Amino acid sequence: MNKKKDIRALSKDQLREFFISNNDKAFRGNQVYEWLWSKAAHSFDDMTNISKTTRNMLDENFVINHIEVDTMQRSNDGTVKNAIKLHDGLIVESVLIPTKTRTTACVSSQVGCSLDCKFCATARLKRMRNLNPDEIYDQVVAIDQQSRHYYNHKLSNIVFMGMGEPLMNYNNVLKAIDKITSPEGLGMAARRITVSTSGVPKMIKKMADDEVRFNLAVSLHSAIDEVRTSIMPFNTRFPLKDLRESLEYWYAKTKSSVTYEYVVWNGINDRKEDIDALVAFCKHIPCKVNLIEYNPIDDGEFQQAPERALNNYISNLEMNDIVVNVRRSRGKDIDAACGQLANKS
């Protein structure tokens, strides 16, 4: 194991102090910081405006722990799935999803997941560790490069919907988003970023208190406790009443609406009472609903409900003036679709 410290764990001020304590100029810290973040340098030798002696000194003290795209698969619909190798050999997955008007990166926040949603392939991996801010940032950089390479424009949106529950790795996700939105990083607008959570009430309130500027999505899937607990067992710890209260708190503080992600499964949440409960839940704060097409994972216990059930949802939501979108799945042929990320590679 390399004992040298990862240089990207240092803030800009800490880098400046490092150079001062080594009898060099503080601004050298700014130059190195720019190489590390906005230029995403993988090696000290890339830092061409830094002298060879200084580069050697950095090399003696630090490493740059970088991710590597281990394997890449392209779907028939243009979706690109990456198996990303971390510095310790663990793998996460990140996906580039193109549409006519935009490209979206779906990034991971943890290796595996500590939650246990029954319909999700990642849940079977268990949580191995949280990703560092730089490992999250690097996924976005890698996917931005793919967007430019394959689609001739920079990345337009980011969703935290890959592996892991982002609010269980909140500090690192926030630090990564700071870098992604900073002019010294990628300079992306926070409004183009969506953090999708399974619904951790305490953390939703914390985000509101922190006055974050990105969008919030909640994987709801049922507005009836009994049903939700049967598919998302942690719902016993974070019941819908607490979730609803935290979302009311979020809206009161941020004035920002919420997107509810919702899959309709055959025989699970396709009844009239399921629809009525969702409509009632949606009335608490301004929101919209994304009905997401489901991709069965291996054992086939969960099956997408037929079109008729989806149409019942759509007409009831619309009748109640709730905005609803249907999200067709992308990258199914390469297991890159929602809920399918499970390191099969």
Q: Closest separation between CB of residue 28 and ligand SF4, Å?
A: 41
> According to the binding rule CB under 6 A, does residue 198 interact with ligand SF4?
yes
Which helix (H) or strand (E) element contains residue 290? strand 287-292
Q: Closest separation between CB of residue 328 and ligand SF4, Å?
A: 19
Q: Which of residues 251-310 bind ligand SF4 (CB under 6 A)?
A: none
List the one residue from 29, 98, 164, 185 that touches ligand SF4 (CB under 6 A). Answer: 164
Q: Which CB atom, from 164 or from 331, has the smaller least distance to ligand SF4?
A: 164
Contact indicator for 85, 77 with CB cutoff of 8 Å: no
Contact indicator for 192, 158 with CB cutoff of 8 Å: yes
Q: Which of residues 78-117 bind ligand SF4 (CB under 6 A)?
A: 113, 115, 117
Scanning 54-62, 147-155, 158-166, 321-329 for contacts with ligand SF4 by CB under 6 A, the matching segment is 158-166
Cα(25)–Cα(272) distance, integer angstroms: 69
Scanning 24-32, 143-151, 163-171, 209-217 for contacts with ligand SF4 by CB under 6 A, the matching segment is 163-171
Contact indicator for 247, 260 with CB cutoff of 8 Å: no
Cα(87)–Cα(90) distance, integer angstroms: 7
Q: Closest separation between CB of residue 161 and ligand SF4, Å?
A: 8
Q: What is the dihedral of CA 243, 249, 250, 252, to 10 degrees?
A: 150
Scanning 33-41, 160-168, 261-269, 281-289 for contacts with ligand SF4 by CB under 6 A, the matching segment is 160-168
Q: Which CB atom, from 98 or from 162, has the smaller least distance to ligand SF4?
A: 162
Question: Quick check: helix, strand or coil at residue 243?
Answer: helix
Q: Which residues are catalytic?
A: 93, 338
Q: Closest separation between CB of residue 167 and ligand SF4, Å?
A: 9
**Stretch 118-157: interaction string toward ligand SF4, x if CB under 6 A:** --x-xx----------------------------------
Count of alpha carbons within 13 angstroms of residue 314, beta-carbon side? 12
Task: Please name the residue that has the structure tokens 């001062």.
Answer: 20
Strand order in the sheet with 157-160: 68-74, 80-85, 91-98, 103-106, 157-160, 193-197, 215-219, 258-262, 287-292, 323-327
- Residues lying near ligand SF4 in the complex (CB under 6 A) are found at 113, 115, 117, 120, 122-123, 163-165, 198
